[in-house]
Chain A
Amino acid sequence: MARHSIDEGAIERLVKLLDEHGLTELEYGEGRWHVRVSRAAAGQPAAPAPAPPRGPESEQPEALATQESAAAHPGAVTSPMVGTVYLAPEPGMAPYVKVGDAVGEGQTLFLIEAMKTMNPITAPRPGRVSQIFAQNAAPVEYGEVLIILE
């Protein structure tokens, strides 16, 4: 799981500032992380709570999905057939897509070979490639998650 390294020194300094200035609560943030230190009512210890980061370039502190958990992801694209998946039109060529690419509906993502025929697998909707599970020249089964488009 993705984790921010806890800057214990910074937290200590915040607690000290809290005490020195008789504050009840002090929140400090930088870039994508924030810490809030608060003095709880009577006798309860304060606990720092990292707030979930927000920002225009956004996201992705979330753990990358495993292929099993990805099946439930709304952006998952699954294999419509059994076969062997290829990431590029031909060996040696660049793959159809890579992580971060924006794809349009109907755009070819992979080829799946079965019974000596190549079958293009296309994006069912527009999106951005956030994760690719398919491995080049690997066997795939019906329903297997190939890629996540967000």
Chain B
Amino acid sequence: MEPRVFDKVLIANRGEIALRIHHACKEMGISTVAVHSTADSDAMHVRLADESVCIGAAPASESYFNTAALLTAATITNADAIHPGYGLLSENADFAEMVSEHGFVFIGPSADHIRMMSDKITAKHTMKRLGVPVVPGSDGAVKDAAAARRLSDALGYPVLVKASAGGGGRGIKIAESADDIGTAFATAQSEAKAYFGNDEMYIEKYLGRPRHIEIQVLADSHGGVIHLGDRDCSLQRRHQKVLEEAPSPALNAEQRDQIGAQVVEAVGTLGYLGAGTLEFLYENGAFYFIEMNTRLQVEHPVTEMITGIDIVREQIRIAAGAELSYAQDNITFTGHAIECRINAESPVTFTPSPGRISYYHPPGGLGVRIDSGIYAGYVVPSYYDSLIAKLIVHGKTRNEAIMRLRRSLHEYVIEGVETTIPLHQLLCENADFVNGDYDIHWLENFVGPEDQPHAR
């Protein structure tokens, strides 16, 4: 009863996720088209894909953000569908619309839902309306500093001033008291205008020591909606996730089931299609919705390891009109998974370290997974983000996963560029981490200011 899935998918992304998508396609018998910039001609997924098309010069604006080139490449290769990966154009509603208008299937939700969730105020209103708990704050946009002051006084400090057009941690300023709400509002607003071209602001209560816990969902076009459990992504530096794990050490099964059910209900009512993730702040037993990501997430592998489900495969099937392969009753969570994002950066100062990888040896063995396109001789380009590999381990228990992680990190060799492997080694030896006792501020406190790294 498998409907005809696509013959050919164009992968509109690069790096490790492009290879991930290629893997899923090939395992479904789907041909792949890799589009790439001149800097990525030797990328592993380009080498492996059935076809490749160079779409532009190295700067992402000329290649990976070049909508015309992407659509033309899909046309000349006769692709059926386009997978946008994460980042880049994956949450660009206009792109999703153009893909459809040109006769290709966009592997993701509708442009309307992308648009809805890109506007953080609308997203929050929508979730609130659907019965999902949200962070207390302004009811919609805050007009000016005076309104910000009144609202924040009532809400109680500290507060966060946030850009409605922001996301991923950008366009946020904290105000500790009535004294700095004025400045915080003004600064945040001018930044928002500069970065996003939109200075609409809203305000949220600043939670003291929350964890970042997110719920993965899948929804098909036949009314099927399921959740695949939670991920704890509290270990962040400058709002960028560094290490993720599933399930969260902070939740019990009952809490997981409860928030999962609430999320499934909301997503079902919305009529959402595809994979999505609802991100929450969690504190003192309560969940507070902050945003929804309408795409595949970087950290999806930890969910795959504990559920045994190929999320990219499900995305492709859903986009082709198939029913979900699973009902909620079929979903079980087995063991524990941890993912380390390995960046080509100094593990101390986080300065990017592009260059040629001279020696490469990945760890192996039971329960070890590497999502990466790098190899000995590969040149990490300077034009894109610094993520070069994800090391994911799975164990029957969290302790087993941590032991496996320590072993794997010590075995992993990447020479020629600096990497954040040493940072991950410190993390998995740290008592707080081992105890699962951390929140969203923990990692920044651990690494300290970059010009005065803690003695280690």
Contact = CB atoms under 8 A, between A and B. Distances in A.
Interface of A: 81-84, 114-115, 139, 141-144
Given A82-B76, A141-B53, 8 more contacts: A81-B69, A82-B55, A82-B72, A83-B76, A141-B52, A142-B54, A142-B56, A142-B69
B307 to A, nearest CB: 38
Contacts of B72: 81-83, 114-115
Interface string B428-452: 0000000000000000000000000
B71 interface: yes
Interface in B33-62: 38, 52-57
A70 to B, nearest CB: 15
B247 to A, nearest CB: 44
A131 B389 CA distance: 43
Contacts of A142: 38, 53-57, 63, 69
B73 A143 contact: no
B332 to A, nearest CB: 45
B38 A82 contact: no
Nearest to B63: A142
B335 to A, nearest CB: 44
Given A82-B76, A83-B76, A84-B76, A141 B55 contact: yes
B54 A141 contact: yes
Given A82-B73, A83-B76, A139-B76, A114 B53 contact: no
Contacts of B122: none
B65 to A, nearest CB: 14
B68 interface: yes
Contacts of B420: none
Contacts of A83: 72, 76
A114 B55 CA distance: 12
B77 interface: yes
A82 B52 CA distance: 12
A144 B38 CA distance: 11
A115 B101 CA distance: 12
A141 B37 CA distance: 10
B38 A143 contact: yes
